[in-house]
Amino acid sequence: MLVRECNVKFCRRDFFITFFSCAIATFFWFLKQKFAHSTEADVDALVHEKLNGILAKTGKITLDIPEVAENGASVQFTVTVESPMTEQDYVTAIHVFTEGNATPHVASYYLTPFSGKARLTSRFRLARKQHVRVLALMSDGAAYVARREVTVAVGGC
Amino acid sequence: MSEVQGRVRVQRVAYKGEIVEVKTTINHPMENGTRKDKEGNVIPKKYIKYFKCTYNDKEVFRSEWHPSISANPFLVFFLTAIESGNIYFEWIEDTGRVFKKSAEIIVES
């Protein structure tokens, strides 16, 4: 029936139209959110690529990031990896990933035995509340991973 | 925008084998390609992609950056003082521009 029969101002048909248009709008908004930022799966894929078949263990990495970052445009982080940093045993690479930024891969740092200490500090952007993941690759083939959640007051990306 | 210039801080004198802290920064906007200017035009992507540190012709530290690194990239890392000489720092933009800086270190045994 195309002719509006009810006398009430807001009838059932109106309700359905409003309800479904809202639902569709929400659905598209979710899609936009999903594709605008990276997800955990994107980071999983990146980590998998870097690991190249090695099983990553937890531990040895100390990730120092404020739990609540006030300004997402510049968040300072410090990564420390327990390692003697000698010719035989040293950290070859440190990779930093974020699970909710437009570009999930933040940076990769390649160290040598001349580094002396496997520790570095830098600043990154965080778009919203998300997890940060750090992967450390050792010269003996071992890999370590650390994951931390950071709450961001004002996103910056 | 002022000229892009890297700045580095390394201690001048160190003992042989001492672990030296290296502080680096460069004034660069690190445009991630999503920002818009006042007219609504998208500002093209332009960021520093690579950072390299060479100590007496030996590459000791290298890193690869992406647009998630904040503007005016700041980086602190460590080096072992082996011999007196120069430490060269290079920031390479994705457009191919290279920004250079060097620091001198005196190593006492």
Q: Where are the domains of chain A?
A: 8-37, 40-154
For B6-108, CATH number out of 3.30.565.10, 3.40.50.720, 3.40.190.10, 2.60.40.10 equals 2.60.40.10
Q: Which two tokens stand for residue A19?
A: 């309800």
Picking from B70, B74, B79, the nearest residue to A114 by CB comes out as B79
* Distance from C-alpha of A49 to C-alpha of A104, rounded to nearest angstrom: 14
Instruction: Tell whether A112 is within 8 A of chain B (Cβ).
Output: yes
Q: Is the pLDDT of residue B1 over 60?
A: no
Picking from A101, A110, A116, the nearest residue to B68 by CB comes out as A101
Cα of B77 to nearest chain A Cα, Å: 5
Which chain A residue's Cα is nearest to B77?
A: A120
Best of B10, B47, B68 to disrupt the A interface (most A CBs within 10 Å) is B68
Instruction: Tell whether A33 is within 8 A of chain B (Cβ).
Output: no
Q: Which two tokens stand for residue B49?
A: 């992609």
Residue pLDDT, tens place only, B32-61: 888 888 888 888 889 999 999 999 989 999
Cα of A157 to nearest chain B Cα, Å: 7
Class of domain A40-154: mainly beta
* Distance from C-alpha of B109 to C-alpha of B106, rounded to nearest angstrom: 10
Residue pLDDT, tens place only, A38-68: 777 888 888 888 888 888 889 889 999 999 9
* Distance from C-alpha of A157 to C-alpha of A108, rounded to nearest angstrom: 19
- Closest C-alpha to B76, from B7, B23, B27: B23
The neighbouring-strand residues paired with A57 are A144
Residue pLDDT, tens place only, A68-83: 998 989 999 999 999 9
CA–chain centroid gap for A32, Å, is: 17
Q: What is the ipTM of this complex?
A: 0.90
Q: What is the mean pLDDT of chain A?
A: 86
Which chain A residue's Cα is nearest to B32?
A: A157
**Chain B neighbors of A102, CB-CB under 8 A:** 32, 34, 67-68
Give residue limits of the domains in chain B. Answer: 6-108
Give the pLDDT of residue A45: 84
First to last CA, chain B: 44
- Greatest Cα pair distance, chain A, in angstroms, is 86
CA torsion A30-A38-A49-A89 (nearest 10°) is -140
B-facing residues of A in 68-97 (CB < 8 A) are: 73-76
**Chain A neighbors of B68, CB-CB under 8 A:** 98, 101-107, 124-125, 157
